[in-house]
């Protein structure tokens, strides 16, 4: 579902960009521009991985195509920032600090004023942003599903699977799966307790190279990342949300900025995708209530579906309901709980809170033993 008014958003974006460009040109003509005024180029923070760079550059292309003068002026300057999550690949994320490891250094630079805004994979963002920063913009969601990628020796077996077979049937008994996500691991072990797991971290190509080199029999990746890298053909089995519930924010690019930077916030809001904002709000609200660590398997996936009663409320999403599915599990797959809520997109935050509270209440105490209740 992507039925929202693009024309108005394009017009608003163009107006905002033209104002920024006009102000920049005026200040460049002054011999001593006031220090409190913004100057170009705007500094854009990003991780240095191939996927992060593709996402950041696609975002900047979207901005500048509405206002060529900004492109000609070199309005944006890319700043690649190495994060703890990128530097330490030999250990699980939970062992080196948990959530936010792919955004910590970027947000430190943003808070300190060394960059003006930052582009992220939304699923990598911590649930609660540092003081003074906010999620300024969410872009249209790419396919949120996970995919299974097989070692070449297993790929030939795919054609032998019946159409209605469990997609995990392609994996032999005691197969080794390379994975760094407890969410993925728990869901697979819940259905296939015989599977074994090894730590597999790094960027997309690094993981694929390790798989091809025999480090494991299969691995899992997000379809969104493969598509953005032009590598969708590497996906051997696409797992439906019923088979593998995605992570909160998966497939969405989010942009963070300083809350005090009103001019930039107005600019970024012009390309906001209403559907992405609604589902992201629900999923991140769910995550905030569960407040899981990187050792807590949690899934959250929201989508917009036509209203069952056919009624239409005011606003771009008025003809749709938001359906949010949440999941909590043990890392070994011995416990797994899924629940779902449905309501108006305008109530996305409340729906996430309610579902999170329900999942906590129905889960064994040890699942959240190390987590203080909200």
Please check whether residue 111 is in contact with residue 83, taking contact to mean a CB–CB distance below 8 angstroms: no
| pTM of the predicted protein model | 0.87
The span from the CA of 221 to the CA of 179, in Å, is 9
Confidence at 97, pLDDT banded by 50, 70, 90: low
HEC assignment per residue over 90-134: CCCHHHHCCCCCCCHHHHHHHHCCCCCEEEEEHHHCCCCCCCCEE
Confidence at 269, pLDDT banded by 50, 70, 90: confident
Q: Is the pLDDT of residue 298 over 80?
A: yes
Over pLDDT 70: what percentage of the chain?
82
Q: Which of 72, 86, 116, 124 is catalytic?
A: 124
Cβ neighbours of residue 40 under 8 Å, at least 6 residues apart?
20, 24, 28, 70, 73, 74, 75
**Mind listing the pLDDT tens digit for each residue in 119-132?**
999 998 999 999 99
Q: Is the pLDDT of residue 365 over 70?
A: yes
**Mind listing the pLDDT tens digit for each residue in 309-350?**
888 888 889 999 999 999 999 999 999 999 999 999 999 999
Confidence at 34, pLDDT banded by 50, 70, 90: very low
Could you confirm whether 124 is annotated as catalytic?
yes
| 144 or 13, which is more confident | 144
DSSP H or E segment with residue 351: helix 348-362
Q: Is the pLDDT of residue 21 over 60?
A: no
pLDDT of amino acid 67: 65
pLDDT of amino acid 18: 58
Please check whether residue 314 is in contact with residue 324, taking contact to mean a CB–CB distance below 8 angstroms: no
Q: Is the pLDDT of residue 56 over 80?
A: yes
Confidence at 175, pLDDT banded by 50, 70, 90: very high
């Amino acid at each position: 579902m992507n039925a929202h008014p693009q024309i108005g958003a394009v017009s608003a974006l163009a107006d905002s960009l033209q104002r920024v460009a006009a102000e920049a040109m005026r200040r460049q003509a002054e011999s001593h521009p006031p220090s409190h005024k913004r100057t170009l180029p705007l500094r854009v923070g990003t991780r240095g991985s191939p996927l992060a760079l593709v996402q950041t550059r696609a975002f900047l292309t979207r901005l500048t195509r509405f206002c060529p003068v900004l492109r000609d002026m070199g309005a944006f300057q890319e700043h690649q920032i190495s994060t703890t999550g990128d530097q330490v690949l030999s250990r699980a994320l939970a062992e080196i600090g948990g959530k936010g490891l792919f955004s910590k250094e970027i947000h430190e630079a943003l808070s300190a004023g060394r960059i003006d805004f930052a582009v992220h994979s939304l699923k990598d963002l911590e649930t609660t942003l540092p003081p003074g920063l906010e999620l300024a913009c969410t872009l249209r969601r790419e396919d949120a599903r996970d995919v299974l990628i097989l070692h070449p020796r297993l790929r030939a077996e795919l054609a032998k699977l019946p159409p209605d077979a469990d997609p995990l049937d392609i994996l032999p008994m005691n197969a080794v799966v390379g994975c760094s996500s407890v969410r993925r691991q728990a869901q697979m072990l819940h259905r296939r307790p015989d599977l074994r797991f090894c730590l597999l971290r790094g960027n997309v190509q690094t993981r694929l190279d390790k798989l091809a080199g025999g480090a494991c029999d299969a691995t899992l990746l997000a379809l969104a990342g493969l598509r953005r890298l032009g590598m969708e053909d590497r996906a051997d089995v696409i797992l439906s949300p019923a088979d593998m519930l995605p992570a909160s924010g998966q497939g969405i690019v989010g942009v963070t900025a300083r809350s005090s930077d009103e001019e930039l916030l107005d600019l970024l809001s012009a390309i906001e995708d209403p559907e992405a904002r609604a589902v992201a709000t629900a999923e991140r609200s769910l995550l905030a209530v569960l407040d899981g660590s990187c050792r807590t398997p949690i899934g959250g996936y929201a989508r917009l579906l036509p209203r069952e009663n056919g009624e239409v409320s005011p606003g771009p999403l008025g003809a749709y309901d938001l359906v949010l599915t949440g999941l909590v599990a043990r890392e070994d797959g011995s416990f797994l709980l899924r629940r779902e809520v449905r309501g108006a997109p305008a109530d996305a935050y409340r729906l996430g809170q309610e579902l999170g509270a329900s999942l906590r209440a129905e889960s064994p105490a040890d699942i959240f033993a190390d987590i203080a209740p909200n």
